[in-house]
Structure 1
Amino acid sequence: MTLTLPPAQAARELVDPVLREAVDRLDPHTARVARYHFGWTDASGRPHVAGGKALRPALVVLSGRAAQADVERCLPAAAAVELVHAFSLLHDDVMDDDPVRRHRPSAWTVFGRSEAILGGNALLVLAGELLLEQGTPGSVAAARAVNHATLSLLAGQALDLEFQDRDDVTREECLRMSRHKTASLLACACSIGVTAVAGPAPLAGALAAFGAEAGLAFQLADDLLGIWGSTEVTGKPVLSDLRARKKSLPMVAALTGGTEAGHHLAELLARPGQLTEADLRDAARLVEEAGGRAWAEQEAGRRLDAAARCLSDADMPADVRDEFLRIARFITSRDH
């Protein structure tokens, strides 16, 4: 199959029917939560225009093209990765008490915490089912890859929760958490298309390495948005990460840099009760003065350069390599 649409749009049109068919297998109550979370319906079950960038399905489809395979063979893997991503967001919103997801109320605020947790569990089961029912050597290997990425993601979420109760988190620990929580699934998305079609192992390895580095760059850019991004871009309140006192990468870099601004930032964050809007603006200023913003921007650039090096010797069509690099630059520009 030849793709003539932009990768994300093409991936969405190809994978969306697979996702919808999978969700249709669920019981009506759980399916209602899933359809709302994917943006297919509103809280009453009426059709709604879906949001999201379809980033991970696009990477899976591109991975299949890197192996010069028919992309239709990669669609179950693309849907499985998106199901895991959706599962993680459902649970993440519950654990972080995030009331907004993609510019509208999070699923748990609409249906309840228990219902959102059950919905996430169901999506995770569907991901494995979609892969294993194919019954091919490639699909079994792809299922293992998804399981490995999911376990890594869970390890990252556990670290994230642990960090909430600590004031001594190091920059290295925060990078390790991001590598697990964000980069592992992106690495899986970049390589699983090759795995699903039983493509060359060296190619899958190069794409996984690319995805891991691009995933860290993506998280760094996302953390910058969590402090300085607008609601129109993030879909969440301004200064949302500071309001939650989240141990994001710019925050930890600022707190551990040994600067006077970092010391003042630590004192501000240690205050009991909710921070005022003035406190939040002061905190953002202190993160920047302590070098947290500059470090995160520079580190994102370094990770993006490392991602490009991972593809330099990979055996794939030149246009596919260029598209991987274009997507990596797009997701880390983070002005969208």
Structure 2
Amino acid sequence: MNQADTSTGGAVSALLERCRTLSVPALRAAVGRLAPPMNTVAAYHFGWIDADGRPSDSDSGKAIRPALALLSAEAAGAAPETGVPGAVAVELVHNFSLLHDDLMDGDEQRRHRDTVWKVHGPGAAILVGDALFAVANEVILDAPSPRAPDAARRLAAASRKLVDGQAQDITFEHQERVTVAQCLEMEGNKTAALLACAASIGAVLGDADDALADALDVYGHHLGLAFQAVDDLLGIWGDSRSTGKLTWSDLRRRKKSLPVVAALAAEGLAAERLTTLMTGDAKKTQQEIEDFDEAEFATRAALIDEAGGRAWTEAEARRQYDMAVAALDRAPMPVDVRERLEALADFVVIRQK
């Protein structure tokens, strides 16, 4: 890592720490609105307590979405505190989706801990996810801003797209062929829509004009696609000690992620071999795939790499990053805020290193 990388990393760390200082108390207060035992289950999910109810300091996420909400308020010339309701609401919606996704995907680990459905049961995961979604809407509508209804509309639209994306993702797992365009559309819904909302909701609460809010929305959308491209790479080649998930996690779940889809769309022997293997998977149960030995998953990952799926996804992450940064040029804002938004984009794209 060079000196510039170190400087950027330090700036982002300070930014995320400031975000936690401002938003976590409000997030805890929002979760505190839930009736028992949902408040306890939610506290476990956020890493505030362990499975036995004892205080815990487990990692509760990188806080990228809340940080975007605070920065977008500052982009509009408002205090960062103006964006706190948006930061909390977006984080609640994000975690609503995680609770449900873990259950639907059968994931037993998140951030090196058992998932909520594994500890408290599927019913609790569904109910707490629903409750977080409801509280998110309360929080944004309670925001002390005349533009709270406009912010709520953006949050509602992003939430709908997020659910659309998850439905597409599940469908793709059982669909023999998925195009790169379809995959990007799904990821634009499932991941980018909420990041776009996070990047603009603080500005709306800060009474920004539509031009600024929309430019920040475009920035967040492309940043979200870059974020998901990197996540797709980690889902195959990521270190389980860093991701908190099993090795080859996306391959185990038959996910049609960008590296897989790009490799299948390529020409050559590696793409043909990969197509044959994955076509054969359609006749297997999920348990049969889970029972593959490590060598089988390693072979598939190598074929994806050889067919060009890894390189294409790395290039796509960079392309989306470039479009995110270019969108900032269309959004007049204080220079220091723009620099922090660009530093956050840098962090998202290089986080696999």
Describe the superposition over 1:190-236 as per-residue Cα deviations: whole angstroms up to 9, x where unpaired.
11100112112111111100010111011000000111110122110
**How far apart are residue 83 of structure 1 and its match?**
0.3
Could you tell me which residue of structure 2 aligns to residue 10 of structure 1? 18
Equivalent of 1:31 in 11, 32, 39: 39
Equivalent of 2:178 in 164, 169, 174: 169
Equivalent of 1:197 in 194, 198, 206: 206
The one-letter code sitting in structure 2 at the alignment partner of 1:173 is: Q
Contact kept, 8 Å, 2:12 with 2:344, in 1: the verdict is no
**How far apart are residue 319 of structure 1 and its match?**
0.9
Contact kept, 8 Å, 1:93 with 1:106, in 2: the verdict is yes
**How far apart are residue 50 of structure 1 and its match?**
3.8
Could you tell me which residue of structure 1 aligns to residue 236 of structure 2? 227
Residues 140/265 of structure 1: CA separation in 2 closer, same or farther (3 Å cut): same
The one-letter code sitting in structure 2 at the alignment partner of 1:320 is: V
Contact kept, 8 Å, 2:12 with 2:343, in 1: the verdict is no
**How far apart are residue 263 of structure 1 and its match?**
1.6
Q: Determine if the alignment matches structure 1 residue 312 to structure 2 residue 329.
A: yes
Could you tell me which residue of structure 2 aligns to residue 122 of structure 1? 131
Gapped regions of structure 1 (runs ≥ 5): none
Could you tell me which residue of structure 2 aligns to residue 267 of structure 1? 276
**How far apart are residue 334 of structure 1 and its match?**
2.2
Query: For the residues of structure 1 that align with 2:230 and 2:168, how far apart are their CA atoms?
Result: 20
Could you tell me which residue of structure 2 aligns to residue 248 of structure 1? 257
Equivalent of 1:147 in 141, 148, 156: 156
Describe the superposition over 1:108-160 as per-residue Cα deviations: whole angstroms up to 9, x where unpaired.
10000111010000000000001112364311111111101000100100100
Describe the superposition over 1:249-288 as per-residue Cα deviations: whole angstroms up to 9, x where unpaired.
1001111113221121122232432222111000000000
Query: For the residues of structure 1 that align with 2:33 and 2:225, how far apart are their CA atoms?
Result: 34
SS at match of 2:33: coil
Contact kept, 8 Å, 2:77 with 2:206, in 1: the verdict is no
Describe the superposition over 1:15-69 as per-residue Cα deviations: whole angstroms up to 9, x where unpaired.
1111111111111111111101111110111111041111111110011111110
Describe the superposition over 1:143-190 as per-residue Cα deviations: whole angstroms up to 9, x where unpaired.
111101000100100100110110111110000000000000000001
The one-letter code sitting in structure 1 at the alignment partner of 2:46 is: F
Query: For the residues of structure 1 that align with 2:73 and 2:323, how far apart are their CA atoms?
Result: 22
Describe the superposition over 1:270-308 as per-residue Cα deviations: whole angstroms up to 9, x where unpaired.
243222211100000000011100100111111111111
Equivalent of 1:282 in 299, 311, 319: 299
Query: For the residues of structure 2 that align with 1:310 and 1:60, how far apart are their CA atoms?
Result: 16
SS at match of 1:12: helix
Query: For the residues of structure 2 that align with 1:303 and 1:8, how far apart are their CA atoms?
Result: 22
Could you tell me which residue of structure 2 aligns to residue 329 of structure 1? 346
The one-letter code sitting in structure 2 at the alignment partner of 1:279 is: E
The one-letter code sitting in structure 2 at the alignment partner of 1:283 is: R
Could you tell me which residue of structure 1 aligns to residue 315 of structure 2? 298
Query: For the residues of structure 1 that align with 2:143 and 2:69, how far apart are their CA atoms?
Result: 17
Query: For the residues of structure 2 that align with 1:174 and 1:5, how far apart are their CA atoms?
Result: 31
Residues 4/214 of structure 1: CA separation in 2 closer, same or farther (3 Å cut): closer
Q: Determine if the alignment matches structure 1 residue 70 to structure 2 residue 87.
A: no
Contact kept, 8 Å, 2:70 with 2:82, in 1: the verdict is no
Q: Which has the higher contact order (CA 8 A, sep 6+)?
A: 2
Q: Determine if the alignment matches structure 1 residue 239 to structure 2 residue 248.
A: yes
Query: For the residues of structure 2 that align with 1:286 and 1:38, how far apart are their CA atoms?
Result: 37
Could you tell me which residue of structure 2 aligns to residue 98 of structure 1? 107
* 1:52-63 to 2 correspondences below 5 Å: 52-63=61-72
**How far apart are residue 5 of structure 1 and its match?**
7.8
Q: Determine if the alignment matches structure 1 residue 21 to structure 2 residue 29.
A: yes
Aligned-residue RMSD, C-alpha: 1.5
With 241-250 and 257-266 compared, the bigger mean Cα shift is at: 257-266
The one-letter code sitting in structure 2 at the alignment partner of 1:6 is: A
Contact kept, 8 Å, 1:139 with 1:197, in 2: the verdict is no
**How far apart are residue 314 of structure 1 and its match?**
1.5
Query: For the residues of structure 2 that align with 1:154 and 1:202, how far apart are their CA atoms?
Result: 27
Residues 232/65 of structure 1: CA separation in 2 closer, same or farther (3 Å cut): same
Gapped regions of structure 2 (runs ≥ 5): 1-10
With 176-185 and 249-258 compared, the bigger mean Cα shift is at: 249-258
Between the two proteins, what is the percent identity of the paired residues?
48
Contact kept, 8 Å, 1:259 with 1:290, in 2: the verdict is yes
What is the count of residue pairs matched by the alignment?
334
The one-letter code sitting in structure 1 at the alignment partner of 2:43 is: R
